[in-house]
Structure 1
Amino acid sequence: MSESLNRLLADLHAERLATWEPVALQVNIDQRQRLVNEAKVDDFVKAGDTLEPFTLLKVEGGSLSRDALLADGPAVLIFFRFAGCPACNIALPYYQRRLYAQLHALGVPLVAVSPQVPERLVEIKTRHNLELQVASDPDNRLGRRLGILYSFDEASRKAALAKGNGIGETTGTGTWELPQPTVVVIAKDGTVAFADVSPDWLVRTEAEPVLRVVEQLLGQTPLQVAI
């Protein structure tokens, strides 16, 4: 049985159930449930959408444009919250293990994207020695276009401030907005071939469906009609 990202995230939640103070735990659970309940699914990026040109900032310096990413074929974007997010520190190494080598062999870029400013975002790449690219989405511009942003609710804001600072200080963006975990596969012509948005950040996209879509785009497996 292949490694499951959602099993790893369930283990994280189980650890929190056992170790967190009940009030803090409930704030976390309530925020995630609210995001699920209030998800504006019709606004989410979806297969068939066209992505107009965009520019990301590489954490090592320099920029990464849509056209550069799609120069040789499809590309995969993984949106995550910020470098210090515990679930993101499980998800990105998982995608490194389960996606990077296969996509790299196919010549397909894999880019993890967060609104956090590059000089702070680089931390997650160096911590895990990630070979996949990590890039900043300045001012959440692309995330906003994709309809995947959310803002901290009042209880979560108070909990964050009680610990010392707001998320905008952590990310360097100055706002309470973050992207919901999202995976987008972009075809060479700029259309979205696959999109999966997870309002609950402890539920995320597994590697297998992403690989299947990429292989279909490259003609390595027959296209199957989604039911």
Structure 2
Amino acid sequence: MTQSAEPTLTQLFADLHAHRVATMDPAQLQINIDQRRELVETADRSAFVRPGDRLVGEVLQDVEGGTLHLGALLARGPVALVFFRFATCPACNIALPYYQRHLEPGLRALGIQLVAVSPQVPERLVDIKRRHDLTFIVASDRDNTLGRRLGIVFTANAASQASQLAKGTSLGEVTGTGTWDLPMPAVLLLDRDGVVRYADVTPDWLARTEPGPVLQAACTLAFQDAAHRAAE
């Protein structure tokens, strides 16, 4: 028998939402829905990172220890950056393993390094890498420094804050940042010069970038990179 194809990310997130509808307190679920809708409707898309922008001197913290200089990574080849929320985010625990299966192998074959980025402190963020045995780099963007530069950071709305505080914790305690700020999910492809060649930002964290368009853009980037090196 032919094995059926794995569902898309979109389908997996639809399943997650359906499970929440069936199991969550309706009022709590509505807070989540309203926050996501608010981001879609109010996000300042003019501020989002876009192709042609350049990143070179950014510094991240590898969850396995040590400082990660983007320039040093780029010296080895093009880089794909995947921004996500935090280690215990249910949607992130769907997306990152999915990217491990359906995105990272294709990128690696093209000579493109994958780095997943969250503002969560490294000692907590490392859990998602260990939980799923992720082979790509997972790194902390301290204080959302890079995320802010890319225009993808938002602050949880008042209802979301009140809901979490009622449970006895805060987002800042979960992430270790002391703030209610998170990045919107995003995928970037950078060439060796740090120039953004592909960018997709999804304000709704249950509507993330599928691997297909990223791999298509990655093929173009890899071709251009090979041509550039041949001309040197």
TM-score relative to the length of structure 1: 0.94
Q: 1:125 aligns with which of 114, 118, 129?
A: 129
| Residue in structure 2 matched with residue 69 of structure 1 by the alignment | 73
Tell me the amino acid that sits aligned with residue 163 of structure 1.
K
The counterpart of 2:203, out of the listed 199, 203, 215, is: 199
SS class of match (2:103) = helix
Q: Contact conserved, 2:147 with 2:153, CA < 8 A, in 1?
A: yes
In structure 1, how many angstroms separate the alpha carbons of the residues matched to 2:172 and 2:32? 18
Instruction: Say whether residues 1:186 and 2:226 are aligned partners.
Output: no
Instruction: Provide the rounded CA distance (Å) in 1 between the counterparts of 2:56 and 2:77.
Output: 16
Tell me, in whole angstroms, the C-alpha distance in 1 between the residues paired with 2:7 and 2:80: 20
Structure 1 runs (4+) greater than 6 angstroms displaced? none
- 1:13 is matched with 17
* Paired position in structure 1 for 2:214: 210
Instruction: Name whichever structure is richer in helix by fraction.
Output: 2
1:168 is matched with which residue?
172
Cα deviations across residues 182-204 of structure 1 (Å, max 9, x unaligned)? 00111111110011011100000
Aligned pairs (5 A) from 1:24-63:
24-63=28-67
Q: Unpaired runs of 5+ in structure 1?
A: 221-227
**Percentage identity across paired residues of the two chains:** 59
Report the CA distance between 1:86 and its aligned residue.
0.3
Q: Counterpart of 2:223 in 1: which secondary structure?
A: coil
**Structure 2: gaps (5+ residues):** 225-232
**Superposition deviation, residue 107 in structure 1:** 2.4
CA separation in 1, counterparts of 2:178 and 2:85?
14
Q: Structure 1 pair 2/127, CA: closer, same or farther in 2 (3 Å)?
A: closer
Structure 1 vs Structure 2 CA RMSD: 1.2
The answer on whether the counterparts of 1:74 and 1:214 sit within 8 Å (CA) in structure 2 is no
Match of 1:87 among 68, 88, 91: 91
Aligned pair count reads: 220
Report the alpha carbon displacement of residue 2 of structure 1 after superposing the two structures with TM: 6.1
- In the TM superposition, what whole-angstrom CA distance separates every residue of 1:195-223 from its partner, at most 9, and x where no partner exists? 10111000000001111111111118xxx
Please, what TM-score do these two structures have when normalized by structure 2?
0.92
Kindly provide the amino acid, as one letter, of the partner of residue 137 in structure 2.
Q
- Per-residue CA deviation, residues 55-74 of structure 1 (Å, 9 max, x unaligned), is 11000001111111211321
Distance in 1 between residues matched to 2:122 and 2:40, nearest whole Å: 29
| Displacement after TM superposition at 1:106 (Å) | 2.5
